[in-house]
Chains A and B, each alone.
Chain A
Amino acid sequence: MAETALSSTNVTRLSAPLKQRYFWQDAVHYIVRDRLTMLSLIGLVILTVGCIVGPIIIENVLHIDINRTSIADRYEFPGSEHLLGTDNLGRDQFYRLIYGGQISLGIAYFASTLSILIGVALGMLAGFYGGWVDDFLIWFINTLESIPSIFLLLIASTIWSPSPTVLIVILAVFGWASTCRLIRGEVLSLRERDYVLAARALGAPNLRLMIHHILPNVVSTLIVSLTISAGTLILIESGLSFLGLGVQAPIPSWGNMLTDSRTYFAKGTYLVIWPGICIATTVLFFYVLGDGLRDALDPRTRK
């Protein structure tokens, strides 16, 4: 009698101060306290909203055509009329940066989402079924990763002249390999877990096992991958566009705004600086956010 009373007080004493928190609440709680990650997240939200809303304002409120060239206004120094100056064709750099951001960020978001979808789907299949499916996929990934991706992108953008939409598809089709490898590795160990066996014993079909029992466990990897790959894609897209093989003029992107930079060297250094700062900060935000999310979503790596 005394024994049961003792154990029940123990139980109440233990459970009382511990507020139960679910995994996601816990993760959010952790991120909110991580200043650098929050800063990146807020920065990205501001950039994204600015690049979505900005062009609408420029077109509908200010009635400015950002592609209109004006020889009289060439190389105007940053000032009250043109916040960041004008380029070699007399176009306002600030407005073009906002438009370029819409293109560059849009490509990064859509292409990384698409590449993650491909990577997760194939990685789940390979990890879950194993056998020849896995062998084939690993061979394919090894092959894809052994070609310097810039050559593949060169050949692809040679074949299909890239509009932003085509570019999204090209970047996704060549960018899913590393995510796929990550997801496959996790699924490989997840499918051996007891709860998967239990679900299988209860008669759950493979599709249900994959979607209800394995997928939720790779979501954190997926989110981190998505963030990091968005950053990487900004870099790749800007590189391609800089070469003139990505987004085609007159559509601005942060990369192709620097394509003709050689002609600005003498007259407008300010034209070279800003697109690069936009690219670098955005990539930095994505990478820091990715690192922070990795820590928040994986309790083992928390400092």
Chain B
Amino acid sequence: MTKYILRRLLQMVPTIFGITTISFLLVISAPGDPVTMVTFAPNNSPESIAALKRQLGLDQPPLVQYLYWLVGNDYTRIDVNGDGEGDVAGARKGILRGDLGQSIQYKRPVLDLIVERIPATLQLTVAALLVGYAVGVPLGLFSAINHRGIVDQFTRVVSVLGIALPSFWLALILIIIFSVTLGWLPMTGMRDVTRTDSGSFIDTIPYMIMPVTVLAVGTVAAISRFVRASVLEVLQQDYVRTARSKGISNNRVWWWHVSRNALIPVATLLGPALGSLLGGAVIIEQVFSWPGLGRLSVNAAFQRDYPLVMGFVVVGGVLYVLGVLLSDLLYAWLDPRIQFR
């Protein structure tokens, strides 16, 4: 098992390298002069702009810039005044040491900004994930038991709708029904803005109901489809026929032989589901003004805050890769038939 974990960790390295490369290539291909974009100071003299460029390392070839971004430049001395000699030590540590750079808009380290917002987003995504499993698994099971029956048809309609309905539209409809018309639920935000203290988790629950519901719809659809297919497949297995022919009661065959085997692969959905929830949260947080990663990233995109947007690509990618690793490990742990090769 230890060997398997180590091997899987090693496999992550090229992927994470790829994620950083893609995000760097995207930004470096941006048209326009980065300095004028970064500083918004059109009246600067050409000399000071050149100095700023040297200070930011923008005079270097792209490959060197990439290395600076990756491993930092604090081991070099930067030639700020252009006389060929190093003047000050570089300030960047590089993303490999957790330095994602400075946000242009907030003038603060990107990593700090992202880490601050992670709990709010996780609160939504984890809740949606729990709801997704809690509703999706039974729905899938019952629709397989009731194959081609009413529950099955209902589940299939729900799962198709769950994928086809645009999440932001569903969110708007819920707001119109439950906030505007009925006034049961708060429209936006995470907690009562009139309160001075930050409040507890319980206070945020009314605010969570609508965003979590909207986020969970897609997850419920995906999980129930998966469970249904998985159960129907297990039903074809020889050991199920053997169990039935031994005269084991239908209930026991279902809960003991079928469900147990059919539900193990559901663990593999955890990683991808978390990834798509993270993506979905970007739009949903915008609709509900939820102060998480999603709102920050859309804001960053509007403000052309490149370091922050790059930070999101890197952090989002790494979170996804970790999620997949976690679900693979869970799968291997749950199913003794998986061999750690």
Contact = CB atoms under 8 A, between A and B. Distances in A.
A140 interface: yes
Interface in A230-260: 231, 235, 238-239, 242-245, 255, 258
Contacts of A255: 166
A189 interface: no
Contacts, number: 142
Interface stretch (A48-56, A157-165, A205-213): A157-165
A269 interface: yes
The residue in B22, B168, B169, B275 that gathers the most chain A C-beta atoms within 10 A of its C-beta is: B169
A235 to B, nearest CB: 6
Interface string A253-277: 0010010010001100100110110
A150 B282 contact: yes
Given A151-B316, A276-B173, A283 B278 contact: no
B233 to A, nearest CB: 14
B276 interface: yes
Nearest to B165: A280
B302 A242 contact: no
A245 B180 contact: no
Given A155-B309, A242-B168, A265 B298 contact: no
B169 A276 contact: yes
B164 interface: yes
A148 B320 contact: yes
The residue in A239, A255, A279 that gathers the most chain B C-beta atoms within 10 A of its C-beta is: A239
Contacts of A156: 26
Given A158-B304, A243-B298, A148 B279 contact: yes
Contact of B279 (A150, A159, A272): A150
Nearest to B315: A151
A42 interface: no
B176 A269 contact: yes
A23 interface: no
A258 B168 contact: yes
Contacts of B180: 265-266
Interface in B1-60: 14-15, 18-19, 21-23, 26-27, 29-31
A272 B298 contact: no
A284 interface: yes
Nearest to A143: B18
Given A146-B320, A287-B164, A275 B169 contact: yes
A156 B298 CA distance: 12
Nearest to B276: A148
B163 interface: yes
B189 interface: no
Given A147-B313, A148-B275, A158-B306, 18 more contacts: A139-B14, A142-B15, A142-B18, A143-B14, A143-B317, A146-B19, A146-B320, A146-B324, A149-B279, A151-B282, A154-B282, A158-B301, A158-B302, A159-B26, A242-B168, A243-B298, A255-B166, A265-B180
Closest 5 CB pairs of A and B: A143-B18, A276-B169, A148-B279, A283-B164, A159-B30
